[in-house]
Amino acid sequence: MGKIFDIEVSKLEEIKAYITAKEIDQQPRLWEETYEILEKNKKGLNDFLDRIGRDHLKVIFTGAGTSEFVGNTIVPFLKEQGIWVESIATTDIVSNPQVYLKKKSKTLLISCARSGNSPESVATVELAEQLVDNLYQIFLTCNPDGKLAKKSENNEKNYLLLMPKDSNDKGFAMTGSFTCMSLAGLMLFNLEKLDSFKNYVNEIKEKGQESMSLFLEKIKEIANLDHDRIVFLGSSCLKGLSQEASLKTLELSGGKIVTDYNSPLGFRHGPKSIVNEKTVIFIMLSQDEYTRKYDKDLLKEMSLERKGNQIVVFDNFYDEEVEKLSDFYINIDLEVCHDVFLMFNYIILAQKYAFYKSLYLNITPDNPCPTGEVNRVVQGVIIHKYEGDKKC
């Protein structure tokens, strides 16, 4: 039956880890399929965006959990391009819609969702339709049968952008759904540059496939360390990615590993208190010359202050000084112009780490919370009717 991550498929099935392993492993193929989807939708999307008019357009990426982190990761890059864009969780919008949804602001709401069935995702759309006069929507989802996908029908102010079929993850943790929606979100506002994006997609695909085997033993070694706290650190786009990487470990460890995330600069301001002898700190280094100075300053500081803890560095080009300061050094070596394109290969490493940590703890990655306190699609949410902002 073959192997995934050097483990026999029959064994993965036995320990209820096959779905998660398969869904991590197939992502490079899905990135190519995502590019092809954007290529096919280029004219339709351009016509849709032209019809809206890009002047004075407020763009909101929204989602819950991992789907929120899509926006958190890619929005800094889009802001650099001069787009008026924010990432706001559906969980924030639903509880405080008056803060985020403005009646007179022309708004493009981009709903990111694996299933499209989360109560807050549906409620956010309905609140936006209730409160915003000039509203347009793009549903960036992996499930053609979800409630969000159905809401796009028969409405010229809505656009459905379906991700590859296999990105609709069946495992507990979102993996391919996250990376595909992130890639689509990046390309969505760069349709005129799709040809250059193809080069990036080819690059991250090839390196993604390569890293599956190249860094496998090192990732397994890190996951098999006797530790119970992990921290992911990154700047700007990589801070959003650190948030997602942290959640993957929390989810796949069934909450047995305490996790945190931050920027390297922000980590000093109190959060560094989490570090003890059983902590592993992952630093996702920026390739930007200026930002990297701050990342390395924190790395030097943490290296000097070791308490028996371990430091893991993900980097994009070889740096001898960084290698000496870290316990585990992983160099991807991508030819890309911006940190945001590092996210795909960095997150595969973090997903594989979380997967192996789950196995180390004798937890089943496909269903790390069998007692049901946490579910693939959140349960138990009561959506209350919003009757308007009562100002003091």
The pLDDT, as a whole number, for residue 382 is: 80
pLDDT in tens, 267-279: 999 999 999 999 9
Residue 171: per-residue pLDDT: 93
Q: Does domain 215-360 have CATH number 3.40.50.10490?
A: yes
Report pLDDT for 233: 98
Question: Residue 375 — pLDDT band, cuts 50, 70, 90?
Answer: low
Tell me, what's the pLDDT at 85?
Answer: 97
pLDDT tens digits along 151-186: 888 888 999 999 999 999 999 999 999 999 999 999
Q: What is the average per-residue pLDDT within 121-131?
A: 95
Core vs surface per residue 353-366: b (16+ CB within 10 A) or e = bbbbbbbbeebbbb
Is the pLDDT score of 339 beyond 70?
A: yes
Phi, psi of 284 (to 5 degrees): -90, 100
161 Cβ neighbours under 8 A, 6+ residues apart: 37, 41, 45, 138, 139, 140, 141, 184, 188
Mean pLDDT (whole number) for 242-258: 95
Closest CA to 169 of 180, 158, 156: 180
Given a cut of 60, whether residue 376 has pLDDT beyond it is no
Q: With contact defined as beta carbons under 8 Å apart, do 149 and 116 qualify?
A: yes
pLDDT at 392: 61
pLDDT tens per residue across span 23-64: 999 999 999 999 999 999 999 999 999 999 988 999 999 999
Domain ranges of the chain: 8-201, 215-360
What is the per-residue pLDDT for 6? 85
Question: What span, in angstroms and rounded, lies between the C-alpha atoms of 143 and 339?
Answer: 29
**pLDDT reading at 121 higher than 80:** yes
Residue 372 per-residue DSSP state: S
Strands 258-262 and 229-234: parallel
The vertex-216 CA angle with 183 and 343, nearest 5°, equals 20
Of all helices (H) and strands (E), which one includes residue 248?
helix 237-252
pLDDT at 372 over 60: no
Q: pLDDT tens digits for 100-117?
A: 999 999 999 999 999 989
pLDDT band with cut points at 50, 70 and 90 for residue 254: very high
The domains spanning 8-201 and 215-360 adopt the same CATH topology: yes
Partners of 105 in beta bridges: none
Mean pLDDT of the chain: 93
The span from the CA of 167 to the CA of 174, in Å, is: 9
CATH number of 8-201, picked from 3.40.50.10490, 3.40.50.150, 3.40.640.10, 3.30.300.30:
3.40.50.10490
Q: What pLDDT does 371 receive?
A: 57
The pTM (predicted TM-score) of the whole model is: 0.94
Span 273-316, pLDDT tens digits: 999 999 999 999 999 999 999 999 999 999 998 888 999 999 99
Distance CA 345, CA 341 (A): 8
For residue 156, the SS3 value is coil
Separation CA 70–CA 79 (nearest Å): 14
